[in-house]
A and B are shown apart, each in its own frame.
Chain A
Amino acid sequence: MSIKRRTFLQGTMAGSVIGVAASAGLLSPRTVLAAWPQAAFDSENVAGAMKGLFSSETAADGDITIKAPDIAENGAVVPITVTSGIKGIETMALIVEKNPRPLAASFDMSPTTEGYVSTRVKMGKTSKLIAVVKAGGKLYSASKEVKVTIGGCGG
């Protein structure tokens, strides 16, 4: 239950969290929000996730910083922090390009909230991590590669 509590705390910091707990299998999506973007989370590609969530497949470069390890220490729990200086953020979403279902999390924020979310996602293999920010009806994104490796042989 402590994880649920942590997720709740993150949610209160960042706005309302809907994706993380759901993708971690902790909460049934529908219990969180009525407006659950089912199609976006079910999509098996980035374009589908983007369309389902934002009704658009493209986003401009923006003031977004992704902090994540270059190489994951444990693909099952990759710590990720996204910060953005963009004003009036409505939504921040996290997409793991090569995951079977790429959309990992989407945070609905109140416009006065600082652009900051920190969470952990599961990554099956090396992938581009994409952060998408919706603000003032416009979409912005940034990406970073996180490598997932078999390990060993170092030294």
Chain B
Amino acid sequence: MGLTRREFMQMMAVAAAAGVDLSTSSASAADQLYTLPSFGNVSLLHFTDCHAQLLPIYFREPNINLGVHGMAGKVPHLVGDAFMKKFNIKPGSLEAHAFTYLDFENAARKYGKVGGFAHLRTLVKKIREQRKASLLLDGGDTWQGSATSLWTNAQDMVDACKLLGVDVMTGHWEFTFGAERVQEVISKDFKDSINFVAQNVIDAEWGEGVFDPYVIKELNGVPVAIIGQAFPYTPIANPRHMVEKWSFGIRDDRMQEMVNKARDEGAKVVVVLSHNGMDVDLKMASRVRGVDAILGGHTHDAVPVPVEVSNAGGKTLVINSGSNGKFLSVLDLEVKGSKIAGYKFNQLPVFSNLLPADKEMQDYIDNVRKPHLVKLNEKLAVAEDTLYRRGNFNGTFDQLICDAMLEVKGAEIAFSPGFRWGVSVLPGDDITFEHVMTQTAITYATSTLNELQGDYIKTVLEDVADNLFNSDPYYQQGGDMVRVGGLKYEIDPAQPIGKRISNMTLNGKAIDAKKKYKVAGWASVQQIPEGTPIWDVVAEYLRNKKSVKIKELNVPKIKGLEKNAGYQAL
């Protein structure tokens, strides 16, 4: 098997924690983890939000993922101990590490990295071999998130997905490569291989659908419709000028039309491949009739058990499958006549030490990376803390980016977008240029320095907070809270817009509504002149520091939600 001793030890640890019988060989221990006897006659495999991570990585789950109003205390707004309790997960187990941030550093060292397309392909093949008929669905955010995807104009991921055997996909960050590039890939690369579906993208002028709204595939003689739902707020959360002729939106009325149409055309199973985000999926499931399952992404929530949502037409399963290639969901359906008589669901963590790399995929990845290795592998500094991003407020990697902007750009305040992607780095490990790119690789990465007035800064924070904490999920636009450097504030998420943010201070002094402040940022959604990309700002900062400690993680004081299941203090 060509395992190193370290890998072998890690494998043993994984197997022990998962309750796998170790009296047999380690190879069969992995077998036990990933052997899923087939069930029913239709199987759907789903991954989402891999963010172009071709190689195995570390990814820390959040300790703050607040749910407010109707979403308080409900899936997916559970972290740490609350998550463990809800899903009855054993402390210290492999699942505990996969689904929560608890004991992250130790567990990460013990169990090793997650994901990686070569390992994912091994798992996909294994699961598909155990089933007569299956589909592999990709929820999008596949083309963006790495240096190589940016530098190859997403070609590395396009070809990797074809090799992986993706059947159907939808999108979000894909659109930030521009409308023309998306259409080029669909018409050329994906022709005869991958169906790109999105019912909610229409021509802004004429209202006609831009993409196939759905595709019907026959599995074991059962016609299965997969309806696409792209990220509804792409032109708002990302630059509109990149897709200026297209209009997005949730469009659940059109979704209902498509469900009805697919059923009329004979579909016995109708599923939605969604990039809504889980709260929006849950609301949509309560409103649209006739959908058997929504397989969703965007908010990066890994949820080991489907949520059954009742609506006027019956029940809809809502599934969300995490991010970064860390999970593969397997939904097995038993279809009898036009009814689903039963289902089984498994969300498998992809532990790369337990899944040998698929040779063909590994060769492909090595080949893609070869011309870029020197740049990718540059060691910029050593991490003294775990670096991560995911969570409602600043993660340590965001803090590092904000600190870099303050220092390199000479700003008083720094804003960094609340993206959910970006891998983790363990303490003592080198921070490479590639790591920085996993946090910053976008097509509009220019760093900026502006003078903003105090009252406008408040408006920005209120605006972004409402996009995260609005009581109605349909009014939530997307990302986590904007990350801030320098500026401190308090937040009361359950309040309405205009009333959430208070007590804004800079160096202990209250922010003056009429004073102007030097604010650094990046990822402007406006069309701005091209300038120094953010990764160069961060790399310069790191090269100078050589070793980086996060002095203070600038998380705002959160009011009123001390007992929220989506919050656990570190």
Contacts and interface: CB of A to CB of B under 8 A. Distances in A.
Interface of A: 67, 69-74, 79, 126, 145, 147, 149-155
Contacts of B77: none
A153 B417 contact: yes
B246 to A, nearest CB: 9
Contacts of A149: 236, 463, 466-467, 477
Contacts of A71: 233, 236, 475, 477
11 contacts: A73-B235, A126-B497, A147-B475, A149-B467, A151-B237, A151-B477, A152-B464, A153-B237, A153-B478, A154-B237, A155-B421
Given A67-B253, A149-B463, A73 B478 contact: no
Contact of B248 (A73, A126, A145): A73
Main secondary structure of the interface of B (DSSP, over half): loop
A153 B418 contact: yes
Interface in B220-261: 231, 233-238, 240, 247-250, 253
Interface string B419-462: 11100000000000000000000000000000000000001100
Contacts of B236: 71-73, 149, 151, 154
A154 B524 contact: no
Q: Which 9 A-B pairs have the closest CB atoms?
A: A154-B237, A154-B478, A153-B417, A152-B525, A155-B419, A154-B479, A73-B235, A153-B479, A151-B236
Contacts of A147: 466, 470, 475, 477
B117 interface: no
Contact of B479 (A67, A150, A155): A155
Contacts of B231: 154
A150 to B, nearest CB: 5
B523 interface: yes
B463 A154 contact: no
Interface of B: 141, 172-173, 204, 231, 233-238, 240, 247-250, 253, 417-421, 459-460, 463-464, 466-467, 470, 472, 474-475, 477-480, 482, 497, 523-525
A47 B237 CA distance: 35
Contacts of A72: 236
A77 to B, nearest CB: 9
A74 B233 contact: no
B249 A69 contact: yes
Contacts of B419: 153, 155
Given A71-B233, A73-B235, A126-B497, A153 B475 contact: no
Nearest to B464: A153
B330 to A, nearest CB: 26
Nearest to A67: B253
A78 B475 CA distance: 15
Contacts of A73: 204, 235-236, 240, 247-249
A77 B173 CA distance: 24
Nearest to A65: B253
A153 B420 CA distance: 10
A74 B236 CA distance: 8
Nearest to B476: A71
Contacts of B524: 152
A47 B367 CA distance: 68
A75 to B, nearest CB: 10
A33 B277 CA distance: 48
A154 B482 CA distance: 9
Given A153-B467, A155-B172, 20 more contacts: A70-B250, A71-B236, A147-B470, A149-B466, A150-B459, A150-B463, A150-B464, A151-B240, A152-B417, A152-B464, A152-B523, A153-B464, A153-B478, A154-B231, A154-B233, A154-B234, A154-B238, A154-B479, A155-B237, A155-B238
Contact of B482 (A69, A79, A153): A153
Contacts of A67: 253
Contacts of A74: 235, 240
A3 to B, nearest CB: 11
Contacts of B475: 70-71, 145, 147
A119 B497 CA distance: 28
Contacts of A69: 249
Contacts of B477: 71, 147, 149, 151, 154
A83 to B, nearest CB: 11
A30 B497 CA distance: 40
A154 B173 CA distance: 10
Contacts of A126: 497
Nearest to B497: A126
A73 B172 CA distance: 15
Nearest to B521: A152
A69 B236 CA distance: 12
Contacts of B470: 147
A74 B239 CA distance: 11
A15 to B, nearest CB: 22
Nearest to B247: A73
B274 to A, nearest CB: 15
Nearest to B460: A150
A72 B231 CA distance: 14
B403 to A, nearest CB: 19
Nearest to A72: B236
Contacts of B474: 70
A155 B418 CA distance: 7
Nearest to B478: A154
A155 B250 CA distance: 16
A69 B141 CA distance: 23
A150 B419 CA distance: 16
A69 B204 CA distance: 12
